Amino acid sequence: MSLTGTSIGASFEDDPEFAAAEGEETAKIEGRSTWQLAWARLKRDRAAVISFVIIVLIVLMAIFAPLVATITGHGVNQQFRTTGLNTFGLPVAPGKTFWLGTDDLGRDILVRVAYGARISLEVGVLATLITVAIGAALGLAAGYLGGLVDTVIARLVDLILSLPYLLFAISLVSISKPGMKIVIIVIALFGWAAVARIVRGQVLSIREKEYIEAARSLGASSWRIMLVDILPNVTAQLIVYATLLIPVSIVAEASLSFLGLGIPPPTADWGQMLAEAETIYQQAWWFLVFPGLALLITTLAFNILGDGVRDALDPRFDRL
């Protein structure tokens, strides 16, 4: 679980779009911040906008999953052994009753996919938030405070980054009570190190800037400097990283569930559905295709959005 680090230069002052701000003659004169400019750029990126819409749709599907169950009349864990399985006891193909077909236990795949979105999104977003929060905090501390704090954190980061992640993740899950909590913990436990390393690197270079020296000469405490002066210069990169970390977390959770070590049955989870499909997909391609497609589309949408966010926050005109 690693991302090739994205690099963002801080030369925001060179942005030609700033000339536009000068021409404004309004009573309330306010500059456009990085965020406002980035947002404008993002809106123009068609692929990113489409991905965003798709993500919104997926979120809606997750929120209204019970509604889907009500509409189809099939509960998420309800097994329809008569209508959902054919005479050979095999799943039923997509049709009028079961729009996306059934699984090996006669459950409605459409409803399960909808509920599965909940797990993926919850784990994806929560794990990412926790990972980035911990990684940023420790990276900031290590980079700015230096000394013993830096040595300890940096060594810890090196150690974690050299561990075989999946093996350890599986080991930890195996000795704990299976469920969403341990999966999130495991993802965050190994993920924060990469964030911390990137943040630390950035902080090390920001630390030498004159405006940091100015802050110290004003008497600002280390905490204040880290929070008010350094963090805003790191946030952009953090947001890009977080957006690209969400799909990684989603796939991580799905992989764990696929191995049978994630969310336990009978909860509807895409990874787990694919594990169940492994034995029966030859007779029931829909059992493989639809959860797989759901995973793929979700991951793809977040990746495209993430690329768009990165381009919006750090426009380098040599990127496609």
Region 48-107 residues binding other proteins, contact defined as CB under 8 A: none
Taking CB under 8 A as the binding criterion, the range among 95-103, 128-136, 170-178, 181-189 that sits at the site for other proteins is: 170-178
For other proteins, the binding residue among 105, 154, 166, 280 (CB under 8 A) is 166
Cβ burial, residue 220 (10 Å; 0-12/13-18/19+)? middle
What is d(CA 142, CA 157) in angstroms, rounded to the nearest whole number?
A: 11
Taking CB under 8 A as the binding criterion, the range among 77-85, 91-99, 178-186, 312-320 that sits at the site for other proteins is: 312-320
Within residues 224-263, the interface with other proteins by CB under 8 A covers 224, 228-229, 232-233, 247, 251, 254-255, 258-260
Opening angle at CA 82, ends 76 and 85, nearest 5: 75
For other proteins, the closer CB: 69 or 119: 119
For other proteins, the closer CB: 69 or 121: 121
For other proteins, the closer CB: 106 or 143: 143
For the CB of residue 148, give the shortest distance to other proteins in the complex, in Å: 13
Within residues 282-311, the interface with other proteins by CB under 8 A covers 282, 285, 288-289, 292, 295-296, 299-300, 303-304, 307
Residue 148 as a binder of other proteins (CB under 8 A): the answer is no
For other proteins, the closer CB: 35 or 64: 35
Closest CA to 297 of 123, 46, 50: 50
Residue 167 as a binder of other proteins (CB under 8 A): the answer is yes
Residue 213 as a binder of other proteins (CB under 8 A): the answer is yes
DSSP 8-state assignment for residue 12: G
Within residues 2-21, the interface with other proteins by CB under 8 A covers 2, 4, 10, 12-13, 15, 18, 21
For the CB of residue 74, give the shortest distance to other proteins in the complex, in Å: 24
What is d(CA 153, CA 149) in angstroms, rounded to the nearest whole number?
A: 6
Cβ neighbours for 54, distance < 8 A, ≥ 6 positions apart:
297, 301
What is d(CA 105, CA 80) in angstroms, rounded to the nearest whole number?
A: 7
Other beta carbons less than 10 A from residue 136's beta carbon: 24
| Residue 26, phi-psi category: left (phi > 0), alpha (psi -120 to 50), beta (remainder) | beta
Residue 185 as a binder of other proteins (CB under 8 A): the answer is no
Task: Please list the residues that pair with 91 across neighbouring strands.
Answer: 85
Within residues 20-39, the interface with other proteins by CB under 8 A covers 21-22, 28-31, 33-34
What is d(CA 41, CA 236) in angstroms, rounded to the nearest whole number?
A: 14
Sign of CA dihedral 184, 187, 191, 192: positive
For other proteins, the binding residue among 171, 179, 181, 227 (CB under 8 A) is 171
